[in-house]
A and B are shown apart, each in its own frame.
Chain A
């Protein structure tokens, strides 16, 4: 390695503080006439300057721009992540959210000064009610898991209001996302898990045994996390209701339901939606999201406060009413995210919403049938918007799902969701979404088939992938044993 390549390799991974030069400035402000010590007592003041980088503006722009170029992103790569619904994020929604009329509004401005934002919240709630069949929505939760917790608080409040102290359990499926039981535990409930049948759907007999007078809530993801619609969903909601429990729908997979069916029609009492999934708001590298929670008529009063109400064309922030569980965060909502979800919904009607579901189902089945000979389906039937395939290491010369995922990165595709749900061995969950073209799917299928060929001819190559990315496989054990999580190392 020459000195230049050494420099190149090092420069590319320098952290901002390592590029710091004492005295370098980017943004400056006018100087205050007097220092802080003129206004504040000495013991209130900071003694040492923070260890933050001193860079030029150009240096900052170049540093972060180059960081961005190390990422795979939806804009640049196909992201078949099951349960994440990585669909195109319309650019016009970004412009709308950045409008100063919306971005510049203080949360405590009087209602009369923010009628636009309040109207948007009100209309969004109404739209979500119409597409789910539920009676009311809260836009407070900042994410899906936050929504789940909110839904659980609502269920707890409902049973408390009926003076029913026996409801201490929440029933979840073994295929559920980890946030379901985690949220249940946070809400003070113990978790009862119901197993899936061989065909991937929830076991009704076990459900009947698990749901008792102690059950507060039955939580299901619809379609479920193996991409199948619970065909006996009405039976499940009946079981819940007959036992006096409520029925919760985890709306993470709503992309396959939107426009096809209304959750209220199959007995859902409470559900959350992920605006950063079916509603196209960008993932941002892990957030921000938004997780609105909808409820049936009998649960309306329990929704968190505040909410937006309307009277004579004027919108008002309603802060208190009897029965509300209270607030689950400061301020109203992730308004800047709700706005993008609203803008997205206004581009659709019943017909185009139906097309979203249909094309996402079409795409998932297309990928499924064209790969299942090499990567068997976990459940060999038509799937909904996502399919679960498996790696069979014996057929792949010991290559596992993890290796296939890493090799896919070399081919220029982000990997599918791997090792989830837990009930499938060596799982790969593929959700193309409706915004991917057939041409892209064909390229993905070709890449997967090429990787299969590699497992036959050169399995070792696949086992040590990736090769074409900024870094190769990482020492995760070292990272966990001796965490280095800050340049202010102690």
Chain B
């Protein structure tokens, strides 16, 4: 389970936790609070390519559908079906059990363009 302090964050409130060349991604606790009750998460499929900064998933609430922008580029190797079966998991545990999918990174250097935990916390004040 990724710890928030060990993650990197995008300005658009996605987090990435890297282990070797694999990044686990999701939305921050701040983001889930902003979106409020999540009713559905539309994830990419295993095998899809994602590009940093491009929309690759959708987070639906009753009144809105928010885009999820890939924090890093690469290939989707695993998706978390738990958030599809039970979207409220993302509201309860956005940083941990509510992870979205895992990417085999094609450009790990993109991580350095993201904010670390402290910087992100500052940015959302």
Q: When A and B assemble into the complex, do they touch directly, with CB atoms less than 8 Å apart? A: yes
Interface residues of A (CB under 8 A from B): 476-477, 480-481
Contacts of A480 in B (CB 8 A): 39-40, 60, 62
Residues of B within 8 A of A477 (CB): 37, 39, 61-62
Question: Smallest CB-CB separation from A477: which chain B residue?
Answer: B37
| A480-B39 Cα distance, complex, nearest whole Å | 6
Which residue of chain B lies nearest to A481 when distances are taken between CB atoms in the complex?
B39
In Å, the complex CA distance between A476 and B62 comes to 7
Q: How many residues belonging to B are interface residues under a CB distance threshold of 8 Å?
A: 8
> CB-nearest residue of chain A relative to B39?
A480
- Closest A residue by C-beta to B86: A481
Q: How far is the CA of A481 from the CA of B87 in the complex (A)?
A: 7
Q: What distance in Å separates the Cβ of B112 from its nearest Cβ neighbour in chain A? A: 31
Does chain A have a CB within 8 A of B88? Answer: yes
A480 to B37: give the CA distance in the assembly, Å. Answer: 10
**Closest beta carbon of chain B to A420's beta carbon, Å:** 12
A477 to B64, CA, bound (A): 12
Q: How far is the CA of A477 from the CA of B40 in the complex (A)?
A: 10
Bound state CA distance, A480 and B60, in angstroms? 9
Question: Which chain B residues lie closer than 8 Å to A476 at the CB level?
Answer: 62
Residues of A within 8 A of B61 (CB): 477
Q: A476-B62, A480-B39 are in contact. List 4 more A-B contacts (CB 8 A).
A: A477-B39, A477-B61, A481-B39, A481-B40
Q: Would you mind naming 14 contact pairs between A and B with Cβ atoms under 8 Å apart? A: A476-B62, A477-B37, A477-B39, A477-B61, A477-B62, A480-B39, A480-B40, A480-B60, A480-B62, A481-B37, A481-B39, A481-B40, A481-B87, A481-B88
Complex: chain B residue closest to A482, CB-CB: B39
For A481, the chain B residues whose CB sits under 8 A away are 37, 39-40, 87-88
Q: Across the interface, name the chain A residue whose C-beta is closest to B88.
A: A481
For the complex, what is the distance from the CA of A480 to the CA of B35, rounded to whole Å? 14
- List A contacts of B39 (CB < 8 A): 477, 480-481
The docked-state distance in angstroms from the alpha carbon of A479 to that of B64 is: 15
- B66-81 CB mask vs A (1 if < 8 Å, else 0) is 0000000000000000
Residue of B nearest to A476 (CB): B62
Cα-based distance from A477 to B88 in the complex (angstroms): 10
A2 to chain B, nearest CB (A): 36
How far does the alpha carbon of A477 sit from the alpha carbon of B39 in the complex, in Å? 6
